[in-house]
Structure 1
């Protein structure tokens, strides 16, 4: 199993990142990828991006199910179409960077883009063309790195918290599905990604269950600075390592 799982230390580091990212994703509709992807890139890079995406599918599906009644259904078709289009573009890019020293650098840059979008991104109206554009951007970012939430978060920044989180989690779960399919199509999902994801995935439903009491008590804005700070630190380390 040594070819399919990292050592105990890296596994525990990745597990902690998945637990924290899952909790933030459940409460806010974004955050899993920004926490998990850079940490996995530092601790167990050979499992990128497949394992992050496979666990992300569980995260998105579980977080959506917990708030499914609040989903804004009419927003989904355009966002779904954009996400699928972006995933196809990203699969072509991924075939050229996955497994090379460029991937951690790409992840670090994408994480910083995601952080900047989350902090200073412009407010955008929710329309068909903005949903498609955000979906396409999210598809590219999410397929390459597992970080696809920030473009959609720009659209839902002013939407009531529960509806925002629920709808973003639908986009997130769908995005993970099409990203996994796109990477599998180009041969970038293998047994080691599946086995490592299976070793991490049991923490997802437990975390979603554990944070349920916080969903009605914790303000979305109070969590974001923690998630963004952790993501920015990890991304900076990745970029410096990639350039070193």
Structure 2
């Protein structure tokens, strides 16, 4: 297998690169957004490389964003959210065998993005506790393992938490959650070498994007960037659904 066979053509690669940069900046600032931006674009531009590429990059995005604000993470919440993530990932791995590589995947990604946007817009508020963390982790685990989009349930749970602590803790969940989803799909035989190669080709853009986002993160409030992120996610998801019907 040649390098060209491992990677998409130049133009699709560039589309995905722009999506990775945009999604990483949003994830760094708000603690959510990478999957909602990157997943629809990658399904449109490079369908044979998802969801593995998104999940592999998500590990870099989550942990890279976390290290920039690790002093703000609420570590006490992590075990319960990650227990839910494991439950969701294991369940989703069985479903993934039916969806990944089929014509159903683009539609599933599109509707999961819209569902994530809806959750973000409803303004729901839940008390953060052991049960709510497990439930949010489980729902996020199912969504992320199937499509690479799993931050929304935890974002809803942390919507009333101070912005820096919210983003830092969500990024920690995001990084560990993506690793759990990768493990589940690997056991299911759905992580391929070409997905790994594509992720590695895009990986240098992640630290670059995190570095570029630092001055922006200090100036931009989480709330002010939220409408733009949700609007972009809705647009890309709508295009994906329409083009797949």
Matches within 5 A, 1:24-173: 24-173=26-175
Deviation at residue 241 of structure 1 after TM alignment: 2.1
* Residue number in structure 1 paired with 2:244: 242
Deviation at residue 72 of structure 1 after TM alignment: 0.5
1:10 aligns with 2:7: no
What's the C-alpha RMSD, in Å, of the aligned pairs?
A: 0.8
* Residue number in structure 2 paired with 1:230: 232
- Give the alignment's TM-score, normalised by structure 1: 0.98
Deviation at residue 242 of structure 1 after TM alignment: 2.2
Choose from 220, 223, 229 the match for 2:222.
Answer: 220
User: 1:109 & 1:155 partners in 2: Cα distance?
Assistant: 21
1:2 alignment partner, SS class: helix
Deviation at residue 121 of structure 1 after TM alignment: 4.5
1:211 alignment partner, SS class: helix
- Give the alignment's TM-score, normalised by structure 2: 0.98
Q: Which structure 2 segments of 5+ residues have no match? A: none
Deviation at residue 212 of structure 1 after TM alignment: 0.9
Deviation at residue 210 of structure 1 after TM alignment: 1.3
Q: Which structure 1 segments of 5+ residues have no match? A: none
2:37 alignment partner, SS class: helix
User: 1:75 & 1:45 partners in 2: Cα distance?
Assistant: 35
Deviation at residue 216 of structure 1 after TM alignment: 1.8
Deviations 1:128-163 (A, max 9, x none): 100000000000001111111110011111101110
Task: List structure 1 runs of 4+ shifted beyond 3 angstroms.
Answer: none
User: 1:99 & 1:53 partners in 2: Cα distance?
Assistant: 16
User: 1:51 & 1:239 partners in 2: Cα distance?
Assistant: 20
* Residue number in structure 2 paired with 1:205: 207
User: 2:92 & 2:231 partners in 1: Cα distance?
Assistant: 26
* Residue number in structure 1 paired with 2:184: 182
Deviations 1:191-223 (A, max 9, x none): 110000001010000111111112221010111
2:126 alignment partner, SS class: coil
